[in-house]
Chain A
Amino acid sequence: MNRSETTRSFTMATWLGWQVESNWTDPFLFAIYVIIKPLASAAILVVMYSIITGGAYESPLFPYIYLGNAFYTYVGAVMAGVSWAVIDDREHYKTLKYMYIAPINIPFYWLGRGVSRFLIGTVAVIVILTAGVLFLNVPLDLTQVNWGLFIVSLLLGVTMLAMMGLILASITLMVAHHFFLIGEAVAGALYLFSGAIFPLEVLPAWLRPIGYAMPITYWLELMRRSLIGDVAQAFPTLAQYSNLQLLGILLGLTVIFAVASVFTFRWCDYRARELGLIDRVSNY
């Protein structure tokens, strides 16, 4: 791997991704997009929660759900951000073939294209968490946060999501038609299986293995534990694991996904060139 090639692929893609993402003629609208949208989705969840539980905000279930939902923002942002670049370049800007023949590293280019959504996602997460602390008594005390665990888990988790994004991007290369929202669709489907808004025990037993195989499940648990301590006690899902064990599992699954992403990319890249899909444009 040529370092300067990967570096320039990533940095220029980041630049491009930011230009594309922040292309709002009106900064006010951009602010709404970045701030109001995540707040609105959190509000829906809170309303549903209060209806179902009769407003039991003191229950440990509430911070569990609230934090799970907040950090789940990253899942959609990173996975969709990375994989969307394929569709955008091929269908909309018609530049995918020119990127392809350029001396760049395509996976690093895609990762770079996802950075801006990651940053916007970060703003969203901060906004949601702040609102939770200020208005909903989410028990988040910055002096009690396990910062070391938080930072390591966050970095590892984002890497894991980026690898999942690469897998989606590679698949997108193969299935041009009508797969516009593959990133969002996968993120939406996994929402229910990764313990974001309810513990895995709520799922029928035969669906639970999906949750246990998903690195997102362990990552969300780590984010919660690092921020508000041992909420796990309230829910037995992962209670038997220590923080370190959870980190180990997350690391292992991340490595597996990273290896899988390399092979998926190689195979899809090969097939796409066999089939002539790189510059295929859907006829709408």
Chain B
Amino acid sequence: MTHFAIETKDLSRIYKIRGNKKEKQIRKELVALENVNLTVERGELFGLLGPNGAGKTTLIKILTTLLAPTSGWARVAGYDVTQHPNLVRPRINMVSGGESSGYGLLTVRENLWMFSQFYGMPSKEANQRIVELLKMVGLEDRIHTKSSDLSTGLRQKMNIVRGFLTDPEVLFLDEPTLGLDVGAARDVRKLIRTWVDTSPLPSGEGKGEGRRTLLLTTHYMVEAEELCDRVAIINKGRVLACDTPANLKRNLQRDAIFEIETSPLNGLTSQILQDQPEVKKAALTDIEGGARLELILKEEAALASVINILTQKEIKVKRLTKREPTLEDVFMDLVGQKMEEVEKEEAPHAG
């Protein structure tokens, strides 16, 4: 048995999409994942960061035995997900955010208790743990509420508790804070961090058997940056980089990152800026009364040429700040676009 919690090798998934009635013959293929190679150690809180449509959910579905890969393989908790789903399932759990699943006619306690029973937990232990977990997310006063009477946010919290309830070896959370308000998202993040850190083993045992592992997906940069031990950046089905947030940003440390607020752009495009030899990446966003430029420059001196271009185009600089790199910049550096821009492009295709 390997010591990895999750291991994938050249994992790919292609969706075959049947055309609509008119064009039945046309069968499109959509590559949702392409040769994904990842290893997650036991005890890690691992983040998959990528825009909508990047393939995050597809990867989680494969890892949780819901979807077969088209090629390649994946092991979770030491077992191949295709060959031994029955050995994987007792060791994992999964929650998708942004959906309100659950049996509305059951109370919060009943919903959770039922799932604990499907996992073979002793009833008394389950009930204790339900109360503990509900307290941790601030839902304990709703324990006897029918789940249909909960708001979507509270229902989502209930589902997140369901994931932690069975204390799996590997827990998968697909966009756990999607759609939650700020406070609820904070509660959930805290629960996530606490659960991974309070290993059933005595502290100081290092990363190995018995340590809890959690993989979450997110398209919130801050969530990945602040919460995760390691982050894989994924776009269009491919893992572009995988490291600790600090290391990912380190590659940009020698670059200079500027944010400039300007008057309207008068036809300036990011391409014009990127044609400058010292400008690595440039992103332009329209904001009220003007625009925002985000620049990754090979060195600070290159700022002069950018200002030059702005002056030629009669664009006024309203504010200029230099800042430390964030994962957003890492993404822009890797993909050439900001994550929002990628999502805007994808949006018309999203089904």
Contact = CB atoms under 8 A, between A and B. Distances in A.
Contacts of A276: 15, 61, 66-67
27 contacts: A4-B120, A5-B120, A8-B118, A8-B120, A12-B118, A19-B106, A20-B103, A23-B105, A93-B102, A93-B103, A94-B100, A95-B102, A97-B64, A97-B96, A100-B65, A100-B66, A101-B64, A101-B66, A101-B89, A101-B94, A102-B89, A102-B118, A273-B65, A273-B68, A276-B66, A276-B67, A279-B61
Interface residues of A, number: 27
A142 B162 CA distance: 51
Interface string A267-283: 00010011010110000
Contacts of B86: 103
Contacts of A4: 120
B309 to A, nearest CB: 47
Interface string B102-130: 11111000100011011110000000000
Nearest to B166: A102
B64, B99, B104, B118 — most chain A CB neighbours (10 Å): B118
Contacts of A97: 64, 66, 94, 96
Given A5-B120, A101-B94, A15 B68 contact: no
B290 interface: no
B48 interface: no
Top 8 A-B pairs ranked by shortest CB distance? A94-B101, A103-B90, A23-B105, A102-B118, A273-B68, A103-B89, A12-B117, A274-B68
B106 A8 contact: no
A9 interface: yes
B92 interface: yes
B106 A101 contact: no
B93 interface: yes
Contacts of A192: none
B118 A99 contact: yes
A119 interface: no
Nearest to A95: B101
A104 interface: yes
A104 B96 CA distance: 20
Nearest to B32: A276
A98 interface: yes
A154 interface: no
Interface in A5-28: 5, 8-9, 12, 15-16, 19-20, 23
A103 B119 contact: yes
Contacts of A94: 99-102
Nearest to A16: B114
Interface in B61-90: 61, 64-68, 86, 89-90
Nearest to B120: A8
A9 B105 contact: no
A279 B118 contact: no
Contacts of A9: 118
Contact of B103 (A95, A102, A279): A95
A95 B111 CA distance: 11
Interface string A69-110: 000000000000000000000000111011111111000000
B114 A12 contact: yes
B114 A102 contact: no
A3 to B, nearest CB: 12
Contact of A103 (B102, B103, B106, B118): B118
A97 B89 CA distance: 12
Contacts of B64: 97, 101
Contacts of B100: 94
A102 B86 CA distance: 9
Interface in A225-284: 270, 273-274, 276, 278-279
A103 B120 contact: yes
Given A93-B104, A95-B101, A273-B66, A15 B114 contact: yes
Contacts of B119: 102-103
Residue among A99, A102, A104 with the highest chain B CB neighbour number at 10 A: A102
A130 B110 CA distance: 37
B278 to A, nearest CB: 46
A15 B123 CA distance: 14
Contacts of B110: 19
B67 A104 contact: no
B67 A101 contact: no
Given A19-B103, A19-B106, A94-B99, 18 more contacts: A12-B118, A16-B114, A20-B103, A93-B101, A100-B65, A101-B65, A101-B92, A102-B119, A103-B86, A103-B90, A103-B119, A103-B120, A273-B65, A273-B68, A274-B68, A276-B66, A276-B67, A278-B66
A17 to B, nearest CB: 11
A8 B117 CA distance: 7
Nearest to B105: A23
B290 to A, nearest CB: 40
A276 B15 CA distance: 9
B18 to A, nearest CB: 11
B117 to A, nearest CB: 5
